Each structure stands twice: as structure tokens, then as C-alpha cells.
Amino acid sequence: MKSTWDEKIFYTINYMFLGLAALSCVLPLLHIISLSLSSYQAIVSGHVTLWPQGWTIEAYKALYSGTNMVKAFSNSIVITVVGVVLSMWFTIMAAYPLAKKYFYARRFFTLAIVFTMLFGTPLIPLFLIVKSLGLLDTYGAIWMPGLISAFNMLVLRTFFMNVPEELEEAARMDGCGEWRLLTRIILPLSLPVLATLTLFYGVGYWNSFLHVLMFINDSTRMNLAVMIQQMVASQSILQELNSVRPDDLQQMTPESIKSAGVIVLIVPMLIVYPFLQKYFVKGVMIGAIKG
């Protein structure tokens, strides 16, 4: 079907707007990458824009050898992987029964969860609760407060409610129990929403900042986000590098080191996203019921 002139104009304006929005996100990223890979002379002279000048990886070498970046990176991986597994498990366990009409007091528990979205826990009571549970200086203090996102749980609950009842009835007629129904029927059909929520939780845990600052005092347990923030906000990273690699310090600028730290922080999520992106556009529910 041929598009009308009005539709063509609308599509053109839409594509222009989306293109500008994409550029506003991509151009700053390209500039940061260029700074992290450019030489000292190019950065000081102000010639670095969207393409590295005088290619060098000295900033990344300095982060690797002169800071605790490797330890912070491994801490972030532990926080993210364990946190995502726990959060997804408990989110599924909360959303599945609330999606069933025969679950007693379903409306009450749903409203109680929605209430937590309107009124969050203040920081001081949250800190006192974590301290009373003995979770200070442990990753449990990071996982526990955000174990279940009310918004994510409601999204998953809505998806479970839209699963055709005919599938469940057919499975039960074949002798499928509740647990097997969830793991063998419901969850495989829910891969798109599960992938999306996994990404949401993963980004949240990977970028954990406030809770790490509040509850973790041991510097060896700090994650990458906190280390990068401290590096960007102060010159302590340069002093540390000065004591470790004084001969190479003249080849680097604060901008290149900070940019390298930012790239190290965001690259893992950029790598993970393509593996989950296909589930965002693929409707595995299509064709689930035949006849």
C-alpha cells in the first residue's frame, strides 16, 4: 500500500527526530572513547573530537597497573550476577501466584506492593535496618533493599496473566503440577519479558552507587561505579598513579584516565545488550496455540 503525502511527511519528521536523539547519545560516547585512546599532546592541544588522535592505550594500562580496577571490576561482576539471579528468582516467585485468580488475597497483596512504589523507605531507617541485620560491609546490604522491584514484578505479573488459560488446562490434564507448569510451560513462553527484566536488574546492580557508599566501608569491596565516581570527582587517582608509575604520568592527562574508566564501566552492558535484544522484538507467544 502506497503511503500518502501526510504519512511521508510524518515518517520523515519522525526519522529526523529519532536520528537527532540517537546522535545526542552516540556523539558524547564517541568523544569519551577518543579521549581515552588519544595521546597527551593531542588532548592538551584540543584536537580530539570524535576520532582518536595519536592512538595510545596508556590510560588503560595505567588503570590496570596503578589502581584496584581489576578488583573493583570483579566485585561489580559478583554483585551483578548474584543480584540478578536472586532478584529474578524472587520476582518470579512473587509474580506467578499473584497472576492466578484462585490465589487467596491476591488483590490485597498486589495493592500492598503498589503502595511501596508510592512511599519508599527513607535512607536513615533503611540504614538502621541493614545495620540491625548485621549486613554492613557485606553485599547482602546491596541485594536485600532492591531484591524485588515492584514495577518489574507487576510487569511480569501482567505478562503471566496474559498467558492463555488453555495452555495451563492442557498441561494439567497431562498431569503437570504447579512447579512443572511454571518451569516447563510458563517461563519458556515468557523469555521476552524475562530478558527485559534481567537487563533492567543487571543495569541497576552494575551501576549500584548509593547503597555501596552507604553500606560498604571496606575499600576492597567497592564496585567499579564507586571507583570511577571517586576518580572523576577527585584527583586521588592521579596521586595513586604518580606513586606507582611516575615515568608514565607525563604521557597521560586526567581527561584520558577518567574517560578510560568510564569506558570500562559502560562496555560490559553494551556487550550484554545484543544477546538480549533479540528477545525484545521476538514474540514467542505467536503460534503458541494452534487450531
Q: List pLDDT tens digits, range 62-96.
A: 777 777 888 889 999 999 999 999 999 999 999 99
What are the b/e assignments for 199-227, b being 16+ CB within 10 Å? bbbbebbbebeebbebbbeeeebbbbbbb
Q: Are residues 29 and 67 in the same domain?
A: no
287 pLDDT above the threshold of 70: no
Both 17 and 150 in one domain: the answer is: no
Same domain? 114 vs 230: yes
Same domain for 64 and 134? yes
User: Rg (Cα) of the chain, in Å, rounded?
Assistant: 24
Domain shared by 140 and 255, yes or no: yes
Asked if residue 150 has pLDDT above 60, the reply is yes
Boundary (domain end) residue, out of 16, 37, 56: 56
pLDDT at 38 over 50: yes
Domain boundary among 17, 32, 56: 56
Question: What are the pLDDT digits (tens) for 222-243?
Answer: 888 888 888 777 665 565 665 5
Average pLDDT, the chain: 82
Whether the model clears a pTM of 0.85, i.e. scores above it, the answer is no
Number of structural domains, the chain? 2
Structural domain ending residue among the three candidates 56, 87, 103:
56
Predicted pLDDT at 244: 55
Exposed, middle or buried by CB within 10 Å (0-12, 13-18, 19+), for 245? middle
Residue 141 has pLDDT above 60, yes or no: yes
**Domain containing residue 74:** 57-281
Whether residue 31 is found in the same domain as residue 138: no
Residues 151 and 243 in one domain: yes
Q: Are 74 and 5 found together in one domain?
A: no
User: Does 39 share its domain with 115?
Assistant: no
pLDDT of residue 259: 85
In a domain, 68, yes or no: yes
Averaged pLDDT, 5-16: 87
Task: Answer yes or no: do 96 and 52 share one domain.
Answer: no
Q: Are residues 96 and 155 in the same domain?
A: yes
Judge if 39 and 111 occupy the same domain: no
Q: Express as a percent the part of the chain with pLDDT over 70.
A: 88
**What pLDDT does 7 receive?**
81
Confidence of residue 285 (pLDDT cuts 50, 70, 90): very low
Pick the more confident residue, 18 or 41. Answer: 18
